[in-house]
Structure 1
C-alpha cells in the first residue's frame, strides 16, 4: 500500500487504530532492519556516544537511511506492528504513532520498561535504577525519583540556587578563548551537573563522573561486555561518600533526606540522573547550533533571553521549545524499548517492542516539518497531539527529570545568548534551514565568539 505525503499539520485522528495485528516481515527485511537500524544505533553508542563513530555517522547519515526503510516497510506491510522476531527473541517494530501512544500509556503492565536489553546495559552502572525495576520495588523507587526531581512543578524548589550557578558557569565557559567547541562546552556543562546533583565540583566529584563515563562505555555493549564489578563498587562507594557530604541546594542532599533502605536504594537512583544530564549536554549544544542557523528563531530567542532576569528562576517557554525541538530532530534515545509482561494482541509475553524514535520524529509522510526547525509545534499544541513525539518518553514511565533538564538547558541558553554572539563553525556551519541532516555529530560543532 502506498503512502501519501501530507503538506499540512497532520490529523492523527485519521491514523489507523492502535490494535492492528502484527504482520510478519520477510527474512530479507529483518536483515535490513538489523543492518540499517540496529547496527548503526549500536555503533554510535546508545549509552555513551563514541566520537569517531559519530563523525562517520555525520558523513553517512544512517538515520536518513533508517527512516526511509521504515517508511518503505509501512508502505508494504501496513501500519504494523511488524514482526521482526529472530530465533529465541520475539520482536515487534512499531510503525504507527497511535501504537506508540498505546505502548507508552500501558506501562509498566503489560509493557514494561525493564527489557532484557535495557537491563543488560544499565546494570553496568545502576543495578537498582527505576527503569530496570519491577513490581512494588519499581513503584517505590519511582515515587522516590519523583519526590526528589519534582516533575510537573513550575520550578523545582532548589531552582533559585541553580540559576546563579548556571549563569556563572556560562560566563566561565565563554572566557576560555575566542572559540567554543564541544569539548569546552561539555566540560562546563558537567560542572553545572555536578553542582546540581552532587552539590560540588571538587576533584572527588569529577572522579565520580569520570568513573561513570567508563562504566557507560562498557554499557554500550550490554550483555556482550563483562561487568566490571570492582569498578562499579568503587563508583558507587565514591558516589555515596560525596552524597554523604549533604551539601545544601543539591539533589544529592534531597536524596540523603530519605532513610537508608537496601530495597529502595536512594543512592542507587542518582547514577541515572547523571547519565540523563549527559544527553542534556548534547541537546543544548545542538539547540544553540540550530538557533545560530535560523536568524528569525534566534531573534525570538534573544528577545526572550534579554527580557529574562537570570538572578531568579525563569520559565523561558520559547527556549524550552527550542530544546524540545533539538531532541525531536536528533533524539538522544533513538530506541524506546518495552517488553510485554503478559500475552497481548501484539505477541506473547516476553515480546520486545521497539520504537525507533528518529522515524517518528522525522517521518516525512506525516510531519510537514520533518526536516525543519519548528519550535512553535511545542507551543501551539501540534506536538502534544502527536503521541509519537516523545523527547522524554511518555506515559507512566515518562522521564521524571524532564522539568529539571528543561530548566537547566533553557537557563543556560538564555545566559549564553545574553553574554555573547556566536558565529557557526564546523558542523554548525553546515545546518541548512528546511533540510536539516538526519544525523548530527555534536562533537564537530564549533562557534566563534564575539
Structure 2
C-alpha cells in the first residue's frame, strides 16, 4: 500500500536538469508578440480568476470560454518554436522567465530555497495582506525555523497524523448531519469551513466564523498584491483573533499542536496558522470537484465506494484510492495555477531577481507527454506513473512542497469516504465528459442530486 509520501510526484536525480550545464540551458528570449500572447492567454486569465481567492463571476466566464485551454496550447506551441529551454519574456522593468520543460520545472522546485526562493516579489506582496510571517514569504533568516515548525506540527510524509482520531470523528459527525436533496457549492462550503475551523482551531464559535470571514476579505485584497494598499487595521483584527483562538488550546486541534511545539518568538507560531486556513480553502474546492469526478465516472465511483465502505471511516485509516482521486482532481484543475520562484543569486538561466513561472495547467495537461492528459486517471498516483513526471505537482514539490499536504489528503479523503457511504451523487450538468474533461471547471456552479445510499 502506498504511503502518503509515495503519492506525490517527487522528481528523481535522473529527471532533473542541471543548471550547471551552461549554454545549452541558457534561456531563449520571446518575441514581443509572443510575450504579449503569454500575457493575454496565460497570465491575464489566471489573475482575473483570483490567484489568492477565486472570483465567482470570473470563474463562470473562464468555464464558459474554457480559458485554460488556449494557454495550454500556446505554451505547447512556444515549446515547439523555442525548444524546452526556459523562455524569457520581454516585460519592461521585470525579468520573468516561463519554464517549458518538465525536467526544468522539477529542477527549479527541487532547488528551493537556494538558488530559487519561493519568496518572490509578487508572492510577498499578495500573502503579506493576511500572513506577514508565513513561511512562503519568509527571508533566509527566518525561513528554516518557520519551515521546521510547520513540519513538526503538520507532519508531512505521515498519512495518519497524530491528531487523526479526533479529526475523523468530527468529519463523520459533520457528514452524518441531514442533507437537502440537492448539494451546491454554498451548502458544501459552509460545512467545509466548519470542519476546517474544528480541525485547525477546535470548536465552531461565532469568533471562529468572524475569523474566517475576515480572512476571506483579506484574501480578496491579496488578489491585487501590491496594487491595493494593505488594510492594516483589518489584518491586525484577524491576526489578533487567530492568536486568541490558538491560545484557547482546544484539545484535538492543530492549535493545540502549535502550543505543544517549541519555537522562539521570531518563528511566530500562531502566525503560521493563517496559511493553513488559506490552504484548506483550496482543499475544499478539490474535494467538491473530486465528488463530481466520482459521480461522472462509474468505475472509479464504484472503487471509491468500495474503499469507503470497507471499514468505519470515523476511525482514522489510510484511503489510498480516495487520496489518489483528490490528487488527480488537483492535477486536472490545479488550485495553484502558477508556481513562482525567484533567483536569489545569478544562475546560468538568468540574473539574480529573475522570476520563474511554472504553469501547472500546462504541465498537468500536456498531451504531448501525458497520454492521460484530459481524462480522470487516479491510478497514476498509485502505480508510479505520476512520480516519473517531475512537473506533476499538485502540492508543489521539493523542499518548498506544501507541508500540510498529508493533513489535507487525510481530511479530504475521510470526508469523501463518509459522504460516499451515506449518499449517491448525481452531477446535474453535462460538463464532465469521461475521456475529454474540460480544461477549466467552475466549482461555484457544480450541483448534485443526493439520494441515500442503498
2:76 to 68, 71, 88: 71
User: How much does 1:255 deviate?
Assistant: 1.1
When normalised by structure 1's length, the TM-score is 0.95
The structure-2 alpha-carbon separation of the partners of 1:216 and 1:13, relative to structure 1 and needing over 3 Å to count, comes to: closer
Structure 1 partner of 2:436? 435
Output the CA distance in 2 between the equivalents of 1:425 and 1:408: 25
Structure 2 partner of 1:378? 381
1:346 to 349, 374, 380: 349
8 Å Cα contact 1:16-1:79 kept in structure 2: no
Please state if 1:26 is matched with 2:31. Answer: yes
1:262-341 alignment, distance < 5 Å: 262-341=265-344
Structure 2 partner of 1:205? 208
Unaligned runs of 5+ in 2: 1-11, 20-24
Please state if 1:49 is matched with 2:54. Answer: yes
**1:295-342 deviations in whole A, cap 9, x for unaligned?**
011111111111022131010100000000000000000000000011
Output the CA distance in 2 between the equivalents of 1:169 and 1:415: 9
Structure 2 partner of 1:62? 67
User: How much does 1:16 deviate?
Assistant: 9.9
Paired residue secondary structure (2:97): strand
The structure-2 alpha-carbon separation of the partners of 1:276 and 1:15, relative to structure 1 and needing over 3 Å to count, comes to: closer
User: How much does 1:145 deviate?
Assistant: 0.3
8 Å Cα contact 1:18-1:98 kept in structure 2: no
Structure 1 partner of 2:155? 150
Please state if 1:183 is matched with 2:186. Answer: yes
8 Å Cα contact 1:85-1:92 kept in structure 2: no
8 Å Cα contact 1:16-1:96 kept in structure 2: no
Paired residue secondary structure (2:317): coil
Output the CA distance in 1 between the equivalents of 2:261 and 2:423: 42
Structure 1 partner of 2:3? none
The structure-2 alpha-carbon separation of the partners of 1:234 and 1:443, relative to structure 1 and needing over 3 Å to count, comes to: same
8 Å Cα contact 1:150-1:156 kept in structure 2: yes
Output the CA distance in 1 between the equivalents of 2:308 and 2:426: 18
User: How much does 1:256 deviate?
Assistant: 2.0
Structure 1 partner of 2:6? none
Output the CA distance in 1 between the equivalents of 2:162 and 2:260: 15
Please state if 1:117 is matched with 2:84. Answer: no
1:231 to 231, 234, 249: 234
The structure-2 alpha-carbon separation of the partners of 1:142 and 1:191, relative to structure 1 and needing over 3 Å to count, comes to: same
Paired residue secondary structure (2:435): coil
**More displaced, 132-141 or 331-340?**
132-141
User: How much does 1:276 deviate?
Assistant: 0.1
Paired residue secondary structure (1:312): coil
Output the CA distance in 2 between the equivalents of 1:260 and 1:211: 27
8 Å Cα contact 1:80-1:93 kept in structure 2: no
Structure 2 partner of 1:389? 392
8 Å Cα contact 2:97-2:356 kept in structure 1: yes
Output the CA distance in 2 between the equivalents of 1:235 and 1:109: 32
8 Å Cα contact 2:149-2:263 kept in structure 1: no
Structure 1 partner of 2:358? 355
Please state if 1:165 is matched with 2:166. Answer: no
Paired residue secondary structure (2:341): strand
Paired residue secondary structure (1:263): helix
Structure 2 partner of 1:444? 445
User: How much does 1:133 deviate?
Assistant: 0.6
| RMSD between aligned residues | 1.5
**1:374-399 deviations in whole A, cap 9, x for unaligned?**
00000000000100000000101110
When normalised by structure 2's length, the TM-score is 0.94
User: How much does 1:87 deviate?
Assistant: 1.5
User: How much does 1:244 deviate?
Assistant: 1.1
User: How much does 1:239 deviate?
Assistant: 1.2
Output the CA distance in 2 between the equivalents of 1:90 and 1:37: 17
User: How much does 1:18 deviate?
Assistant: 5.3
Please state if 1:423 is matched with 2:426. Answer: yes
Structure 2 partner of 1:127? 132
8 Å Cα contact 1:128-1:265 kept in structure 2: yes
